[in-house]
Amino acid sequence: MPLGVTSSDLANTLRNAYYGAEVMRIQHGRHEVKIMARYPRSDRQNLANFHVVWVRTDDGVERPISELTDVEIVLGYSEIYRMEQKRTITISTDVNEDEANAFEVVSSLQADFVPTL
């Protein structure tokens, strides 16, 4: 990544911007309340603002995420599927036929990835 920004840095910045970062906890009666800092709701609800999430680089300068990486918004799954009460995943890909065929990709996943689950 350019300017000393890792993919983990980007993920943490996006998580903090949209979900929030805990800045403190206060006691309210018998309950503890988390205080979260995050972007305003109007900024979080507009996907156009995603391109201008600010990321701090190693030199301390804040830059929009679109200067550091390619940003592409695509449709994704919004449900969790389960089989026998366990989460399931669906893997899809475009196969580069110059590198492998679909059968080889599936065989490799079954041999190398599935056993680690």
Indicate which CATH number applies to the domain containing 10.
Answer: 3.30.2090.10
Structural domain boundaries enclosing 94: 82-116
**Would you say 54 and 63 are in contact if contact means Cβ atoms under 8 Å apart?**
yes
Both 31 and 87 in one domain: the answer is: no
Predicted confidence (pLDDT) per residue in 60-100, tens digit: 899 999 888 888 777 776 778 888 988 887 777 788 888 88
Both 63 and 26 in one domain: the answer is: yes
Tokens at residue 108, please? 């490799």
pTM for this predicted structure: 0.55
How many domains does the chain divide into? Answer: 2
CA–CA dist 66, 76 (Å, integer): 20
Both 56 and 96 in one domain: the answer is: no
Both 51 and 95 in one domain: the answer is: no
Both 63 and 89 in one domain: the answer is: no
Q: Where are the beta strands (DSSP E) in the chain?
A: 21-28, 31-37, 54-56, 62-64, 82-83, 86-87
Residue 21 lies in a domain: yes
pLDDT above 70 coverage of the chain, percent: 97
**Would you say 65 and 53 are in contact if contact means Cβ atoms under 8 Å apart?**
yes
Both 107 and 51 in one domain: the answer is: no
